[in-house]
């Protein structure tokens, strides 16, 4: 009887796992596209409509630890949200602190062409688990919870500053940072890239440079 119970339990877990994978919208309906008939709308590649029900967690990548991140996104998933909107380079890095919860910086000496990436990604080893490993964890956690991540590469503050100095001063800097992002997350099916996030006019050429290399970076290595 115990053996039968164990078999049934194992079978149930397998079924639940398969259901979870198959219910992921990007698996079930395909990637997101702009609707041809009306570019104000999104749909999946199989023609299914997509309704964006997002929750704003702008500071999630910087302020939350791993456990808090799982708790937050699990709660939002249970409430029916399908997109978590967050930003990599926070608006407040000079008002509060530059580093994330674990004390890790985004870049080397705030150089946007030099992401602070260390060998390894073990969260139990501080010098291995860097800022970008934490972003990876957020994307992977969202994927398991069937959530999209609406990811902003940088708050507009660092392209067109209101009071502070810009981090991005050339389109080449923006392009190379965009290349890094496109190459690192080329296999993530649940990322929706968002360009913008500020209330004042921005340098359009600079902002668009973030996204220019993504299609190419998703198929190749670092830029020449």
Which residue segment(s) compose the domain that 104 sits in? 52-217
Give tens-digit pLDDT for 154-166: 987 788 777 777 8
Q: Is it the case that residue 168 has pLDDT exceeding 80? A: yes
Residues forming a β-bridge with 99:
none
Phi/psi region, residue 172 (left: phi>0; alpha: psi -120 to 50; beta: rest), is alpha
Assess whether 61 and 29 both reside in one domain: no
Assess whether 195 and 174 both reside in one domain: yes
Report yes or no on 223 lying in a domain.
no
Assess whether 14 and 94 both reside in one domain: no
Task: Return the CATH number at 178.
Answer: 3.20.20.80
Phi/psi region, residue 150 (left: phi>0; alpha: psi -120 to 50; beta: rest), is beta
Give tens-digit pLDDT for 75-102: 999 999 999 999 999 988 887 788 999 9
Assess whether 178 and 208 both reside in one domain: yes
Give tens-digit pLDDT for 1-43: 444 333 333 333 333 333 344 469 999 999 999 999 999 999 9
Assess whether 95 and 113 both reside in one domain: yes
Report yes or no on 222 lying in a domain.
no
- Per the structure, the count of domains in the chain is 2
Average pLDDT, the chain: 83
And the tokens for 205?
């050429």
Assess whether 57 and 36 both reside in one domain: no
Assess whether 203 and 113 both reside in one domain: yes
- Terminal-residue alpha carbon distance, the chain: 64
């Amino acid at each position: 009887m115990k053996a039968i119970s164990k078999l049934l339990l194992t079978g149930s877990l397998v079924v639940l796992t398969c259901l979870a994978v198959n219910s992921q919208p990007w698996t079930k309906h395909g990637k997101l596209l702009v609707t041809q008939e009306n570019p104000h709308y999104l749909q999946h590649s199989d023609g299914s409509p997509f309704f964006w029900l997002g929750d704003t967690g702008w500071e999630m990548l910087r302020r939350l630890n791993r456990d808090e991140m799982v708790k937050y996104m699990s709660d939002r998933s249970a409430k029916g949200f399908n997109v978590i909107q967050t930003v990599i380079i926070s608006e407040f890095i000079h008002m509060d602190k530059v580093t994330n919860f674990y004390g890790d910086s985004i870049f080397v000496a705030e150089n946007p062409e030099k992401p602070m990436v260390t060998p390894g990604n073990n969260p139990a080893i501080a010098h291995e688990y860097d800022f970008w490993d934490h972003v990876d964890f957020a994307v992977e956690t969202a994927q398991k919870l069937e959530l999209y991540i609406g990811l902003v590469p940088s708050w507009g503050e660092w392209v067109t500053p209101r009071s502070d100095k810009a981090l991005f001063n050339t389109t080449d800097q923006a392009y190379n940072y965009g290349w890094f992002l496109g190459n690192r997350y080329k296999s993530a099916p649940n990322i929706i890239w968002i360009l913008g996030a500020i209330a004042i006019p921005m340098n359009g050429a600079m902002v668009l440079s973030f996204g220019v290399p993504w299609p190419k970076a998703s198929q190749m290595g670092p830029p020449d």
